[in-house]
Structure 1
């Protein structure tokens, strides 16, 4: 339902799916889509943050984000998955686009509930999905205007048709968005004025997300440098985003007006807009995102470059620590003590760290069904599962959640706290968790030969096949896979291929 949680993109035209149709029904390919041109545009990073805030300000979207999204605890992972989804929505192959639409709809169908005020929310609610698409279009128009490159009327109408086509791809039609562009602006103003609220999700994005943003893989070895940069850039991004929001919403939400913020906002968009003078192909968003999240242990050819960059970053952060030592709480200790050296013993991490890094996927401080659903969603995304394999994986995690509730929820509040978890850690490795491991193995074993080969291994772990090939015959058997998975989930041992699977940021 939201760009932060599911990776919504846009379609092109007024036909039945992305990439077919433009203004007045003229066919347009994904390559000529107006929105596709934004993928590698630095301005789109600012616009996407703005659009996400406007989405989160809608009570239905805000509730869905608060209950289900991992964007707080795992923002870089969510960014990568969002970008992959957007690319698929603009693939040249119609089958790829249709498959992604089906995946998004299955994902949304699993998100419903009630918010803190007892109001029902449903990620399949059609007016709400229309609002998500509306924020993307309006933010794109605003992005161009603020950067001194406003869209002409014809381009704006053609781009609007593309966004309506994306909604049609998801819902079967685009009736929830006005056909006429002039009517769209009246619709947008009405929703901002009458329906948006000062939601907790919007506040988190504006004032907490960037202040506590974990370092991407490229910079996780330089906490001092990352903390210093985040302390400066975080508040600036927040101020820029607030200044770019509609005035009526800023007033309704009581958002602070930072002196000089409008000028700062204009300068940021203008500076990002200068990228149009760079040679074509110099900025590739996909490459940048992949590089930021690439582990040095990966067999990807770019890993060597990443390792060299990490070494330079470490030298730079050491120099920064000598020249300007940080004072106070920066959110990240400049020289963190590895949790593996705690009282739990060499090679093990504390129960609290495992709870927060692996189990609490949504970052709300508790373990409940949305956390396990997020695990299933990430695994299904990595393996690119279709039905019925995806449903089998979700069902296995649902059964595990029932088992955990029975074993760990001692106060009966419907969720598991860190104290409840720490008091009954062995209960994690019950029959239901074994079933999760078995279903996951079956999902990885694409050729159904009873073993996981190097290619199947890489699909799940995104790294090389590091097992002892001499003793495993170049494969990974069911019993070994299940044993390793249970050891990770119950023994809390870091530095295994499973760690980045569910604990990466």
Structure 2
């Protein structure tokens, strides 16, 4: 996996911020593009767009190899929405910084697919296809929800999606210049280039049926399992029915009778949510709330605490009244001397190390950790590179110690046999680099603001020293204890673990 860095991108040509021609105008609060984020129908449209992206072989390969969208979908969704908001926001400095971060992230996503074809996330054609699916799915969304766009509105929206692509790649010519030329391009890719990829099958037949509960609802597994058993197949059926017929036929995707009518009804029902007062439903509010852990210090979570008890009672009632099974029961964890709970080696492997959910530990899993931590701390290029380099060194150390059969990856069994006591120099270096990145002011302690930047919650009192801060030694000790699976830590679990 290449560790070369993408160059800092120049400002998008022709996209300034002061004369009505730049992003401040194109992505302004009153534009159709900006309004998409809080349109309830857009969630369904973006699921459809993601499926079409996954069917494009280079994108599908990158998703299958490196993405955490199956095991950590809520984290991925929250991060994606946050990035969208920054990229289309009014601050040109923030936009440039986020663009550079995304380009660095994509520069690390390259390899070969199952057919030995090379892929690169910086490929202009792949980037253009992502934007193309978003635009076309948005147009389809308006049509399905009874708000079909006229030609002028489509032209305006297409211009805005083109501007979004130019933010990422100012010199890109892969997306047709005019809407008139876009439709033949789109039809050609659908008919000639899309495939029934592993990533597509994972989204349609695994993700929705096995979607993990968001952190806020982890305490009510029966209620979540019941809702998912109903909603999962329905979402999959609606998504398949909304795909272009030419692609469904080529990919062998069967449309259930009546699915078209159900799709229309679903989009119309979602569209009715738009009548609620402005600000009642926003994407950030809903996703941010669902992504909060139950012990978060967010006031909204505390306000829901009493309701949570009622939800649990409802879940217990449903468990008695319905045959729906609970999530697979986990054996009780052993308690350490200090009262913290210990994970088994297998639990730690599944919940923390195997970020991509493919059943193995390899470089994409550790790279996913580095991406998440870099994004949380909004690291610039030198700091981000230091963190990735530290994780890369840890990966080499793990391979040397644990890859018994030399296949370039570590199985659950290989890890369980040798790793629980492993805390070598490379992992210590990861802890040191992460501490330095978190300690923004360089005073060798983590204060309340720095702590919140990393953990997205307030200080945990048990971590504080006599001065009310989190010392370097204590941070490294706790991080090593967590990353070697010696203990489950309530502060570190929401950072990397999947419960």
Q: Same fold (TM over 0.5)?
A: yes
Residue 228 of structure 2: aligned partner: 230
Pair 1:150-2:152 in alignment: no
User: Equivalent residue of 1:296, what SS?
Assistant: coil
1:312-368 Cα deviation digits (max 9, x unpaired) = 2101101111222425xx6x13xx345414999982111111001000000000000
Residue 395 of structure 1: aligned partner: 389
Query: Deviation of residue 31 (structure 1)?
Result: 1.5
Pair 1:457-2:451 in alignment: yes
- Map 1:91-170; keep pairs closer than 5 Å: 91-170=89-168
CA distance in 1, matches of 2:238, 2:16: 34
1:26-77 Cα deviation digits (max 9, x unpaired) = 9435223321101111101100100000000000000000001000110111
Residue 370 of structure 1: aligned partner: 364
Residue 14 of structure 2: aligned partner: 15
Q: 1:480 to 1:189 in 2, by over 3 A?
A: same
CA distance in 2, matches of 1:468, 1:272: 45
Residue 410 of structure 2: aligned partner: 416
1:95-126 Cα deviation digits (max 9, x unpaired) = 11111111110100010001111110000000
CA distance in 1, matches of 2:127, 2:302: 42
**Contact 1:56 1:202 survives alignment (8 Å):** yes
- Map 1:45-444; keep pairs closer than 5 Å: 45-326=43-324, 332-333=327-328, 336-337=329-330, 339-341=332-334, 347-426=341-420, 428-444=422-438
Q: 1:43 to 1:442 in 2, by over 3 A?
A: same
Query: Deviation of residue 242 (structure 1)?
Result: 0.2
CA distance in 2, matches of 1:19, 1:306: 43
User: Equivalent residue of 1:439, what SS?
Assistant: helix
Query: Deviation of residue 491 (structure 1)?
Result: 3.7
1:440-495 Cα deviation digits (max 9, x unpaired) = 00000000001101111111111221134874311111111111111111143114
CA distance in 1, matches of 2:335, 2:458: 30
Pair 1:30-2:28 in alignment: yes
User: Equivalent residue of 2:294, what SS?
Assistant: coil
**Contact 1:339 1:350 survives alignment (8 Å):** no
1:284-306 Cα deviation digits (max 9, x unpaired) = 11011111111232222112123
Question: Number of residues paired by the alignment?
Answer: 487
Q: 1:16 to 1:492 in 2, by over 3 A?
A: farther
Query: Deviation of residue 21 (structure 1)?
Result: 6.1
Residue 5 of structure 1: aligned partner: none
Q: 1:20 to 1:292 in 2, by over 3 A?
A: farther
Query: Deviation of residue 128 (structure 1)?
Result: 0.8
Query: Deviation of residue 15 (structure 1)?
Result: 3.5
Residue 461 of structure 2: aligned partner: 467
Query: Deviation of residue 16 (structure 1)?
Result: 3.4
**Contact 1:14 1:162 survives alignment (8 Å):** no
**Contact 2:143 2:149 survives alignment (8 Å):** yes
CA distance in 2, matches of 1:410, 1:64: 27
In the superposition, the TM-score normalised over structure 2's length comes to 0.93
**Contact 2:24 2:89 survives alignment (8 Å):** no
User: Equivalent residue of 2:146, what SS?
Assistant: coil
CA distance in 1, matches of 2:117, 2:19: 37
Q: 1:32 to 1:419 in 2, by over 3 A?
A: same
CA distance in 1, matches of 2:362, 2:463: 39
Residue 10 of structure 1: aligned partner: none
User: Equivalent residue of 1:361, what SS?
Assistant: coil
Query: Deviation of residue 174 (structure 1)?
Result: 3.9
Residue 8 of structure 1: aligned partner: none
User: Equivalent residue of 2:484, what SS?
Assistant: helix
User: Equivalent residue of 1:208, what SS?
Assistant: helix
Residue 447 of structure 1: aligned partner: 441
Query: Deviation of residue 496 (structure 1)?
Result: 2.7
Query: Deviation of residue 426 (structure 1)?
Result: 4.4
**Contact 1:218 1:306 survives alignment (8 Å):** no
In the superposition, the TM-score normalised over structure 1's length comes to 0.92
| Pick aligned residue for 1:482 from 468, 476, 487 | 476
1:177-234 Cα deviation digits (max 9, x unpaired) = 1111011000000000111000010111011101111111221111111111101100
**Contact 2:40 2:274 survives alignment (8 Å):** no
**Contact 2:27 2:89 survives alignment (8 Å):** no
Query: Deviation of residue 92 (structure 1)?
Result: 1.2
**Structure 1, gaps ≥5 residues long:** 1-12
**Structure 2, gaps ≥5 residues long:** 1-11
User: Equivalent residue of 2:436, what SS?
Assistant: helix
**Contact 1:409 1:416 survives alignment (8 Å):** yes
Q: 1:92 to 1:343 in 2, by over 3 A?
A: closer
